[in-house]
């Protein structure tokens, strides 16, 4: 799904991408929706047909060959570019050696995360965060992973997706949390600055942002739809949050099924 902040404080906007077509999902709230997987899956990178999707959209050859599917993408601190073993050095230079942001978000409670500067605020919306605050900027993805490791000693780095979808999230003071964490991690951040340079890890002075999601009714009990088990999903669309559709029959994470050919009506 394509997601964007709402205009002038309005609800986050969702559009379902299907080839060149875009379906305004906000406009479908309260209406019946039917999704049917045809059984076909195409790799989002090379386009070849595949019986199984790996890493949310790749065929197995691409999954084992592409740098964007390597374990260092989910664990940036393990970057092995300097060792000369990067799968695609040119790709890494374009994507990993650019500014990254370390942020705090409130999606199911306080969490820390990292993203490329160009992915703000999309990353927060994909996670269903109701609040977010960028706190530090670094020069490379590896540096962002090393900083995140420090923060993970004090705060979670994952979202409790069930709590997020139930709307069981209370607003919090992210500025106070930022100052508390920076004070506790001052020594570790200082060591990283000695390693990479005083200007490599920069403190950001930006205000927190808040998001409102288009949800008519939050589910009391989470029931997950899965195209691999049941190719047809039907129900009344009650809401959109993160990369989930909330139907009266259950929820479905559409990102999980990237590359699947789905008929929508």
* Domain stop point among 210, 227, 246: 210
Domain of residue 114 covers 98-210
Task: Tell me: do 25 and 115 sit in the same domain.
Answer: no
Task: Tell me: do 204 and 242 sit in the same domain.
Answer: no
* 240 domain residue, yes or no: yes
* Domain stop point among 174, 194, 210: 210
Q: pLDDT of 74-119, one tens digit each?
A: 999 999 999 999 999 999 999 999 999 999 999 999 999 999 999 9
Task: Tell me: do 105 and 22 sit in the same domain.
Answer: no
Q: What is the pTM of this model?
A: 0.93
Task: Tell me: do 227 and 259 sit in the same domain.
Answer: yes
Contact 131, 105 (CB under 8 A): yes
Closest CA to 57 of 264, 257, 263, 261: 257
Q: Using CA atoms in the order 64, 67, 69, 74, what is the torsion angle rounded to 10 degrees?
A: 140
CA 190 to chain centre: 28
Task: Tell me: do 50 and 17 sit in the same domain.
Answer: yes
pLDDT band at 22 (very low <50, low <70, confident <90, very high): confident
Contact 234, 34 (CB under 8 A): yes
Q: What percent of the chain has pLDDT over 90?
A: 94
| Strands 100-106 and 110-116, bridge-based pairing | antiparallel
CA 224 to chain centre: 19
| Number of domains comprising the chain | 2
């Amino acid at each position: 799904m394509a997601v964007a902040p709402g205009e002038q404080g309005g609800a986050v906007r969702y559009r379902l991408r299907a080839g060149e077509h875009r379906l305004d999902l906000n406009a479908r709230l309260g209406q019946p929706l039917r999704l049917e997987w045809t059984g076909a899956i195409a790799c989002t990178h090379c386009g070849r047909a595949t019986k199984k999707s790996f890493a949310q959209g790749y065929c197995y050859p691409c999954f084992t060959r592409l740098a964007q599917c390597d374990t260092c993408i989910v664990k940036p601190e393990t970057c092995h570019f300097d060792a000369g073993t990067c799968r695609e050095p040119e790709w890494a230079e374009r994507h990993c050696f650019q500014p990254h942001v370390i942020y705090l978000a409130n999606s199911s409670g306080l969490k820390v995360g990292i993203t490329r500067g160009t992915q703000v605020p999309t990353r927060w919306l994909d996670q269903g965060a109701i609040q977010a605050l960028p706190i530090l900027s670094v020069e490379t993805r590896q540096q962002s992973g090393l900083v995140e490791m420090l923060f993970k000693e004090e705060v979670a780095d994952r979202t409790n997706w069930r709590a997020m979808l139930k709307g069981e999230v209370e607003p919090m003071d992210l500025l106070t949390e930022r100052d508390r964490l920076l004070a506790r991690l001052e020594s570790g951040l200082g060591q990283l600055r000695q390693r990479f340079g005083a200007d490599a890890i920069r403190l950001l002075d930006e205000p927190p942002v808040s998001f409102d999601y288009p949800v008519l009714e939050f589910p009391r009990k989470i029931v997950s739809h899965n195209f691999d088990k049941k190719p047809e999903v039907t129900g009344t669309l009650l809401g959109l949050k993160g990369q989930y559709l909330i139907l009266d029959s259950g929820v479905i994470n559409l990102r999980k099924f990237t590359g699947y050919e789905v008929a929508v009506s």
